Structure 1
Amino acid sequence: MKGWWACSRPRPALARAVAGRPSPRPTAGIKRQAADSKQVGAAQREGSPSRSASVSTTCLDTTKMPPVGGKKAKKGILERLNAGEIVIGDGGFVFALEKRGYVKAGPWTPEAAVEHPEAVRQLHREFLRAGSNVMQTFTFYASEDKLENRGNYVLEKISGQKVNEAACDIARQVADEGDALVAGGVSQTPSYLSCKSETEVKKVFLQQLEVFMKKNVDFLIAEYFEHVEEAVWAVETLIASGKPVAATMCIGPEGDLHGVPPGECAVRLVKAGASIIGVNCHFDPTISLQTVKLMKEGLEAARLKAHLMSQPLAYHTPDCNKQGFIDLPEFPFGLEPRVATRWDIQKYAREAYNLGVRYIGGCCGFEPYHIRAIAEELAPERGFLPPASEKHGSWGSGLDMHTKPWVRARARKEYWENLRIASGRPYNPSMSKPDGWGVTKGTAELMQQKEATTEQQLKELFEKQKFKSQ
């Protein structure tokens, strides 16, 4: 892969395409760029919105390249964040790989790391090329209790250790092709939902942690937790490694499913040992940032400090309830009309940055082009564009090369920023009614089992769904 990073610096031609305007004369050079950078920085300090995106690459030092990769010593996650750097996470793996035919919807488990390593590797590379500088191991739902849940039987065919090891190896290989770190991730467990003890749940996390330590990941993430109690248990397990720990919950402004407010969740996570806290999944960028704001306020009130992190959905979810997008009738096979545009994600990136979030990425629905949008929006602050911007004109500026004149007329920021996007579905509602079953830890229907769901169990659920929809 040597070479594609070397091609990625924002050349004058690329700067012109991204900014949608003629590039400065070579004689203007760095002096003009430095002056523009000061102006953009002043505008951002005054709290202006994403106007900087329209002039982003005229502010960049076009001689600067993204940091190169390799096995040399890299700055760690806390070293980067403590220095005020922006860390761009990756996107959603389970949804992306399910659409590509490598993950099964329902269990959402990551055995593709063993069965189809080339698919997982390619997705990592696309996120890296788009601007990600964290490669999360594809270990979402890779706990042993999840790999054998409800008739999945992955554990009988492929051990949990093999799945986790393969995911670590793939992430490390790709991370070393750029200036990216590897994060080993754990997530909520069937054991917790089935009311297992703290000791039993922590043992599940420890099994994954042992692999992460063996593979020497750079830091750890406890992600996708609906209950802060379990998230705290995960953090307490992971900090024993001595590595930095990030913790994100899949909650909205109402708090976790036991009613614990976001601010209190943040406090408990930091007291447990997390250095980075925030949210991921279940809600769209707007709602997720509302939750992060409440977390930030909770930490400030408690006089605690931590770096903020946001990895939301790439789906619009204004009609969600406390359970998030899982309660929407469209989950998981009818979500496409809700997909965020690249321009939506540029707005999210700027709002996250203005809120003080410095670890900015995405979760389900986030494709590489969404991550590229984050990297392009924050290029003035980072000082460079991602390699994937070689093939993208910011705000549609590349459309000036189109054969059709009316499409060339769309090669401007104002067009895309003000477009009210139609769904093309005239008889469909704009909002949905969430199912709202309200089940959580300890509810009989949420108790997990190794055996496949029976026909009788399904019949009972079908009847309940009919009753709920009346």
Structure 2
Amino acid sequence: MPGKVKGLMDRLHDGESVVIAEGYLYVFERRGYLQAGTAVPEVVLEYPEMVRLQYEEFYRAGSDVVLAFTYYAHREKLSLIDREADLEEMNRTALRMAREVADKTGSLMAGNICNSNIYVPNDPDITAKIKSMFKEQIEWAVEEGADFILAETFSDLGEALLALEAVKTYGKGLPVVVTMAWHKNEVNGRPATIDGVEICETFKQLEAAGADVLGLNCARGPTTMLPLMEEVKKCIKTPLAAIPVPYRTTKAEPNFQSLTDPLSGKRLFPEDLNAALCSRSDIKEFGRRCLELGIQVMGVCCGNECHYTRTLCETLGRKVPASRYSADMSKHYIFGTSEKLSTRYTSGEGKQHTA
């Protein structure tokens, strides 16, 4: 039952790290269960056993949180494919499976709300629609036993504040993690949200509005996200979260949407992003820097796979269920050092051959 495991805020107050495995959209798109473009998590209803298995696999890789796959399971997205009638069932099914897996594994379960894609500053009608979208998803998450709410991937401060207000109003006191997706916008030479608010001011306002954890997710890879996290750390005292995409973004191309193929010059997003994937060593470096910066909540977003989450957790000094299968090159037939190996490849002729 919910509440048996140590809560999110208790862990953070005790100085612990919390890993959140994200990236379900890309997992299921790659496997042929979700359409790039519309990006609606229809797989929750059509192949629920696959979603449950992914929850379990991320747990085995070390995730402390079973994040309910309700990202983009909101009215704006479902209306694109004429499936609004499935809205509640899609959300509740994802939440219930997440709760079941969390109870089975002793994990936390998080409800999830996200960018609405319809936000327009100072538009009362749009604001009302967004508030309604947030309200229903939050209430379902509460009813299905979420331990906290992750409100993520906001590019406008205004919409992030709406999400935070909604969780505070309808979340029955659950902690809320708010993460922003940061693009290329600037104000007076400083990084800014799409609605034109400088980075430090953005996080100060979210902190003042009562967010329990604040940070960045999606959009940027580790290399271009961490410098922004250094900026955020200077501005607020709230616990920090960093959940980048596992792509090698650069100063010239800071977001994975802007990455281009070094061979052809063509945009990689969304179907050719594998050409820019991070290595496991990149994820190790990301985890190491998070520890140095005092970032307590971390994970990997769009493009994540279990080996990235496992690598991150092992960088934090953990041994997770999937660590049983972590690389052991001592027994590799060419590079190994075990006395049980044939010497044909590990010495003499083999070494000359591989060299």
Normalising by structure 2, what TM-score? 0.86
Cα distance, 1:321 vs structure 2: 4.9
Q: Does 1:248 align with 2:176?
A: no
Cα distance, 1:190 vs structure 2: 2.9
Question: Is this contact kept in 2: 1:265–1:295, CA < 8 A?
Answer: no
Alignment gaps of 5+ in structure 1: 1-69, 300-304, 410-470
Q: 2:222 aligns with which of 269, 285, 291?
A: 285
Counterpart residue identity of residue 138, structure 1: F
* Structure 1 equivalent of residue 312 of structure 2: 374
Higher relative contact order (Cα pairs below 8 Å, separated by 6+ residues): 1
Pair 267,71 (structure 1): closer, same or farther in 2 beyond 3 Å? closer
Pair 118,238 (structure 1): closer, same or farther in 2 beyond 3 Å? same
1:334-353 matched pairs, under 5 angstroms: 334-353=272-291
Cα distance in 2 between the residues matched to 1:103 and 1:92 = 12
User: Could you give the per-residue CA deviations for residues 46-72 of structure 1, whole angstroms, max 9, x where no partner exists?
Assistant: xxxxxxxxxxxxxxxxxxxxxxxx767
Pair 363,193 (structure 1): closer, same or farther in 2 beyond 3 Å? farther
* Structure 2 equivalent of residue 391 of structure 1: 325
Number of residue-to-residue matches in the alignment: 320
* Structure 1 equivalent of residue 26 of structure 2: 95
Q: 2:296 aligns with which of 334, 358, 371?
A: 358
Cα distance in 1 between the residues matched to 2:210 and 2:38 = 30
Cα distance, 1:258 vs structure 2: 2.4
Cα distance in 2 between the residues matched to 1:91 and 1:190 = 19
Counterpart residue identity of residue 400, structure 1: S
* Structure 2 equivalent of residue 408 of structure 1: 336
Cα distance in 2 between the residues matched to 1:162 and 1:258 = 33
Pair 211,72 (structure 1): closer, same or farther in 2 beyond 3 Å? closer
1:252-263 matched pairs, under 5 angstroms: 252=183, 254-263=191-200
Question: Is this contact kept in 2: 1:144–1:160, CA < 8 A?
Answer: yes
Q: Does 1:187 align with 2:114?
A: yes
Alignment gaps of 5+ in structure 2: 184-189, 260-266, 338-355
* Structure 1 equivalent of residue 240 of structure 2: 308
Cα distance in 1 between the residues matched to 2:252 and 2:45 = 35
User: Could you give the per-residue CA deviations for residues 194-237 of structure 1, whole angstroms, max 9, x where no partner exists?
Assistant: 95432221111001112111112000011001111100100000
Cα distance in 1 between the residues matched to 2:211 and 2:36 = 31
Question: Is this contact kept in 1: 2:99–2:109, CA < 8 A?
Answer: yes
Cα distance, 1:125 vs structure 2: 0.9
* Structure 1 equivalent of residue 58 of structure 2: 127
Cα distance, 1:187 vs structure 2: 0.6
Counterpart residue identity of residue 317, structure 1: T
Cα distance, 1:124 vs structure 2: 1.1
Counterpart residue identity of residue 67, structure 2: Q
SS of residue in 2 equivalent to 1:246: strand
Q: Does 1:264 align with 2:194?
A: no
Cα distance, 1:191 vs structure 2: 2.8
Q: 2:49 aligns with which of 118, 131, 143?
A: 118
SS of residue in 1 equivalent to 2:37: coil
Counterpart residue identity of residue 321, structure 2: P
Cα distance in 2 between the residues matched to 1:408 and 1:163 = 49
SS of residue in 2 equivalent to 1:110: coil
Cα distance in 2 between the residues matched to 1:140 and 1:291 = 24
Pair 314,203 (structure 1): closer, same or farther in 2 beyond 3 Å? same
* Structure 1 equivalent of residue 341 of structure 2: none
Counterpart residue identity of residue 392, structure 1: S
Question: Is this contact kept in 1: 2:149–2:177, CA < 8 A?
Answer: yes
Q: Alignment identity in percent?
A: 33
Question: Is this contact kept in 2: 1:263–1:296, CA < 8 A?
Answer: no
Cα distance in 2 between the residues matched to 1:320 and 1:172 = 41
Question: Is this contact kept in 2: 1:264–1:295, CA < 8 A?
Answer: no
Question: Is this contact kept in 2: 1:293–1:355, CA < 8 A?
Answer: yes
Pair 317,198 (structure 1): closer, same or farther in 2 beyond 3 Å? same
* Structure 1 equivalent of residue 167 of structure 2: 238
1:155-234 matched pairs, under 5 angstroms: 155-156=84-85, 159-193=86-120, 196-234=125-163
Normalising by structure 1, what TM-score? 0.65
Cα distance in 2 between the residues matched to 1:193 and 1:180 = 37
* Structure 1 equivalent of residue 7 of structure 2: 76
* Structure 1 equivalent of residue 262 of structure 2: none
Cα distance, 1:259 vs structure 2: 2.8
Counterpart residue identity of residue 166, structure 2: T
More strand by share: 2
* Structure 2 equivalent of residue 295 of structure 1: 232
Cα distance, 1:294 vs structure 2: 1.2
Counterpart residue identity of residue 347, structure 1: E
* Structure 1 equivalent of residue 353 of structure 2: none
Which aligned segments of 4 or more residues in structure 1 are displaced greater than 3 angstroms? Answer: 193-197, 319-322
SS of residue in 1 equivalent to 2:118: helix
SS of residue in 2 equivalent to 1:278: strand
User: Could you give the per-residue CA deviations for residues 227-255 of structure 1, whole angstroms, max 9, x where no partner exists?
Assistant: 11100100000112211000000015722
Question: Is this contact kept in 2: 1:130–1:389, CA < 8 A?
Answer: yes
SS of residue in 2 equivalent to 1:148: helix
1:10-25 matched pairs, under 5 angstroms: none
Cα distance in 2 between the residues matched to 1:221 and 1:168 = 13
Pair 96,285 (structure 1): closer, same or farther in 2 beyond 3 Å? same
SS of residue in 2 equivalent to 1:164: helix
* Structure 1 equivalent of residue 186 of structure 2: none
Question: Is this contact kept in 2: 1:311–1:361, CA < 8 A?
Answer: yes
Pair 166,250 (structure 1): closer, same or farther in 2 beyond 3 Å? same
Cα distance, 1:266 vs structure 2: 1.0
**RMSD, matched Cα:** 1.8
Counterpart residue identity of residue 388, structure 1: A
Cα distance in 2 between the residues matched to 1:365 and 1:250 = 15
* Structure 2 equivalent of residue 147 of structure 1: 78
